[in-house]
A and B are shown apart, each in its own frame.
Chain A
Amino acid sequence: MSNSNYAGRAGETDIKIEAIDVRKTFSARGNGRKDVNNLTTDALGGLNLSISRGEFHVILGPSGCGKSTFLDLVAGLTTSTDGTILIDGKPVTGPGPDRATVFQQYALLPWRTALGNVEFALENLEKDSRKRRETAVKYLDLVGLGDFCGHYPFELSGGMKQRVAIARAMAVGPEVLLMDEPFAAVDALTREILQHDLLRIVYETGKTVLFITHSIDEAVFLADRVSVMTARPGTIKAVVPVLLTRNERLSDDIKVSEVYTGTRHKLWELLKEEAAKAGVSG
C-alpha cells in the first residue's frame, strides 16, 4: 500500500484521466416558452486537468460551476460540446466498467435489498449468479455492511445507503471511482466516518478517485490534490496539492496540523472569489 504522500510521486507521468479544453454548452429548452428558447448555458468553458493513476483528486467549486457536468462527461453519460476527455490516453465514448460512479442521491433501487443493489451492478459483468452474490457480499463486507445484506434501502440510514452505493461502485472493479458529493446528505459525524473509511478502502485498492465536493474540509482531508473551479463557465482556477501523507490522514488528528489549516485557508481564499462571482451571476 502506498504510504507515501501523493506529492512524493508527482514526478511520475502516468496520467489516468486527462481533460483537454473541455467545453459543454446546454441549450435550455425553456419548456416551450418562446422568450427563453434561444437561451444557452455555458457550463464548462475550456477545462484542462490531468489526474495521475492512483491519485485522489478532489474538485472544489461554487454551486452551479459545472462540477457535476464534468463528472458526467468523465463517466461517459453525456458528451462534451468541444474538447476531449482521455482515460489511459483513449477518448471517453460512453460508460464503461473501468469507471464507476457514486451519486449524491444514493441511487439505490428501492425494491432491492442491499445485496440485490450491489448484485445489480454485476449483472452485465458476471453471468454466474452465485459468483455475483459472492462478490456482492465481499464488497458489502468491505464497506462494513456485511450484516445488512438483506435490508432494503428504506431500512438503512443515509450513511449506510451511501456505503451500499460505494460497495456497488467498487464491486464492478473499476480503476476510476467518480464521486459526486457523495456525503453531502449525511450528518457531520457520519460524514467523517465515511470519509475515513473511504480513504482506507481507496488506499487498500489503489483506485484513482475523482471526487466532487462543496466542503473545503472534506477536500483537504481526502485529496492528494484539489482543483478549484471558477464560477460558470467552469474552468480550473488552481490546483493545490495537499502535503499530507496517507498515513497521517488515517492515523493522526490532522485537522489541527499546520499543513491542514494552511491548505484550508488557501483553498478558502481561492474559493471565496469564485463563490462571490457565482453568487452574483446565479
Chain B
Amino acid sequence: MEAAANAGRKNASLNPVRFLARIGLKFIHIFGAIVVFLIVWELAPGLGIVNPVIIPTPSVIFDKFTELALNGVLAENIFISLRRVAIGFGIAIAVALPMGFLLGGWFKTAETAVNPLLQVVSQANPFTLFPVFITLLGIGELSKISIIFWVCQWPVLFNTVTGIRNVDPTLVKMSRSLGMSKFQMFYKVLLRGALPSVFTGIRMSAVFAFFMLIGAEMIGASSGLGYMILQAQATFQMPKMWVGIVTVALLGMAVNLAILYLEKRISGRKEEIAI
C-alpha cells in the first residue's frame, strides 16, 4: 500500500539544469500572461494608448506601493479592512454553518418552511440595505461588520444545505445498515459529504466580503482600503488609488488561496475533472 501511495511521485531525481528549466517553464506557463500584461501596461502610455495621469504605469504604482508600505499608511488601512472582513466573515461562518447543518440535516420540514423566505431575503441587494444598517447601528464599525456578516452568511448557508441534501442517500442507507447512530451518520457521512459544497460557499462568501467591505468603506467610513481609494481619487492621487485597487485584488486572491489550501488539507485527494 505504501508502494501504491508513492507511485505518483516519480522523477524525484533530475539533473539540476533540467530541473531549473522545468521550473522556469512552469513559471512562464503560470505567470507568463501576467508578465506580458504588465509589460504592455508599462509601455502603453509611451505609445499614447492610455493617459498616464489617470492610469499610471505599473512601475509608478509600485513606487507608490513601496512608499505607502514603508510609511505605514498601507498597513494600517489593510489592518482596519481585514479586521472588518475577518469579524463579519467569521461570524457569518459561525452562524450560517450550524444553521445550514441543522436546516439541511435535521429539520427538513423547517427548511422547507423557511427556505422561500430565506431566498427572498437573501435576494435583497445589500447596498440598498446598507442605509438601513447605518440607521439602525450608526456609522461605526458595527454597521460595516454587520453588513459584511449579512452578505457572507447566505452563500455559506445555502451551500451547506445543498451540500447535505446532495449527499448520496445510499451512503446514509449504508451507514444505517452498519448500525450507526443518527449522530454518527450526521458527522461521519453528511457533514463530510457536504464539505466540498460548504467550501464553495465559504469561498463565495469571501468574495462577497471584499465586495461589501469596499462598498461599505466607500459609502460610510473614515478608514480602510475602500476609504483610502475613494479619498485618493477625490484628491487626484491616482497612484495611491491604484495601490489601493491592486492591494484589494491581492488580498482577495490571498484569502481565496488560503481557503483553497485549507480545503485541500481537510478533504485530501480528489478526482480531477478532465474534459
> Footprint of B on A, CB under 8 Å?
75-77, 94-97, 99-101, 103, 105, 107, 109-111, 115, 120-121, 123-124, 146-152, 154, 172
> Which chain A residues border B173 with CB–CB below 8 Å?
77, 103, 107
Inter-subunit contact A107/B171 (CB<8 Å): yes
Inter-subunit contact A77/B177 (CB<8 Å): yes
Some 26 contacts from A to B, beta carbons below 8 A apart, are A75-B177, A77-B177, A94-B179, A95-B177, A95-B178, A99-B177, A100-B178, A103-B174, A107-B171, A107-B173, A109-B171, A109-B193, A111-B192, A111-B195, A111-B268, A120-B175, A120-B178, A120-B188, A124-B178, A124-B179, A124-B184, A147-B1, A149-B1, A150-B1, A150-B5, A154-B271
> Which chain B residues border A94 with CB–CB below 8 Å?
179
Q: How far is the CA of A121 from the CA of B195 in the complex (A)?
A: 21
Inter-subunit contact A151/B177 (CB<8 Å): no
Chain B 192-209, CB-CB to A under 8 Å as 1, else 0, gives 110100000000000000
User: What residue of chain B has the Cβ atom nearest to residue A104's Cβ?
Assistant: B170
Residue B180 lies at the interface, judged by CB distance under 8 Å to chain A? yes
Residue B176 lies at the interface, judged by CB distance under 8 Å to chain A? yes
Residue B189 lies at the interface, judged by CB distance under 8 Å to chain A? yes
Residue B267 lies at the interface, judged by CB distance under 8 Å to chain A? yes
Residue B4 lies at the interface, judged by CB distance under 8 Å to chain A? yes
> Which chain B residues border A121 with CB–CB below 8 Å?
178
Give the size category of B's interface with A: 20 to 34
Q: How far is the CA of A115 from the CA of B5 in the complex (A)?
A: 12
User: What residue of chain A has the Cβ atom nearest to residue B5's Cβ?
Assistant: A150
Q: How far in angstroms is the closest Cβ of chain A from B94?
A: 24
> Which chain A residues border B192 with CB–CB below 8 Å?
109, 111
Given contacts A95-B176, A121-B178, A152-B269, contact A109 B170 (CB under 8 A): no
Inter-subunit contact A101/B177 (CB<8 Å): yes
> Which chain A residues border B1 with CB–CB below 8 Å?
115, 146-150
Q: How far is the CA of A146 from the CA of B4 in the complex (A)?
A: 11
Q: How far is the CA of A180 from the CA of B192 in the complex (A)?
A: 26
User: What residue of chain B has the Cβ atom nearest to residue A111's Cβ?
Assistant: B192
- 9 interchain residue pairs of minimum CB distance: A107-B174, A149-B1, A154-B271, A107-B170, A150-B5, A101-B177, A150-B1, A150-B4, A95-B179
> Footprint of A on B, CB under 8 Å?
1-5, 168, 170-171, 173-180, 184, 188-189, 192-193, 195, 267-269, 271
> Which chain A residues border B179 with CB–CB below 8 Å?
94-97, 124
Q: How far is the CA of A121 from the CA of B193 in the complex (A)?
A: 17
Inter-subunit contact B180/A111 (CB<8 Å): no
Inter-subunit contact B178/A172 (CB<8 Å): yes
Inter-subunit contact B4/A148 (CB<8 Å): yes
> Which chain A residues border B178 with CB–CB below 8 Å?
95, 97, 100, 120-121, 124, 172
> Which chain B residues border A95 with CB–CB below 8 Å?
176-179
Q: How far is the CA of A103 from the CA of B269 in the complex (A)?
A: 25
Q: How far in angstroms is the closest Cβ of chain A from B271?
A: 4
Q: How far is the CA of A5 from the CA of B243 in the complex (A)?
A: 84
> Which chain B residues border A77 with CB–CB below 8 Å?
173, 176-177
> Which chain B residues border A124 with CB–CB below 8 Å?
178-180, 184
Q: How far in angstroms is the closest Cβ of chain B from A136?
A: 11
Given contacts A96-B179, A150-B5, A172-B178, contact A111 B170 (CB under 8 A): no
Q: How far in angstroms is the closest Cβ of chain A from B35?
A: 36
Q: How far is the CA of A138 from the CA of B3 in the complex (A)?
A: 18
> Which chain A residues border B271 with CB–CB below 8 Å?
110, 152, 154
> Which chain A residues border B175 with CB–CB below 8 Å?
120
User: What residue of chain A has the Cβ atom nearest to residue B180's Cβ?
Assistant: A124
> Which chain B residues border A101 with CB–CB below 8 Å?
174, 177
> Which chain B residues border A151 with CB–CB below 8 Å?
4
Looking at B5, B173, B176, B188, the one whose CB has the most chain A CB atoms below 10 A away is: B173
> Which chain A residues border B170 with CB–CB below 8 Å?
103, 105, 107
> Which chain A residues border B174 with CB–CB below 8 Å?
101, 103, 107
Q: How far is the CA of A151 from the CA of B6 in the complex (A)?
A: 11
> Which chain A residues border B267 with CB–CB below 8 Å?
111
- Contacts A107-B168, A111-B267, A115-B1 known; 18 new A-B pairs at CB < 8 A: A95-B177, A95-B178, A95-B179, A97-B179, A100-B177, A100-B178, A103-B173, A107-B170, A107-B171, A109-B171, A109-B193, A111-B195, A121-B178, A124-B178, A147-B3, A148-B4, A149-B1, A149-B4
User: What residue of chain B has the Cβ atom nearest to residue A107's Cβ?
Assistant: B174
> Which chain A residues border B4 with CB–CB below 8 Å?
147-151
Q: How far in angstroms is the closest Cβ of chain A from B6?
A: 9
User: What residue of chain A has the Cβ atom nearest to residue B266's Cβ?
Assistant: A111
User: What residue of chain A has the Cβ atom nearest to residue B173's Cβ?
Assistant: A77
> Which chain A residues border B168 with CB–CB below 8 Å?
105, 107
> Which chain B residues border A103 with CB–CB below 8 Å?
170, 173-174
Q: How far is the CA of A178 from the CA of B32 in the complex (A)?
A: 58
Q: How far is the CA of A76 from the CA of B170 in the complex (A)?
A: 15
Q: How far is the CA of A248 from the CA of B264 in the complex (A)?
A: 51
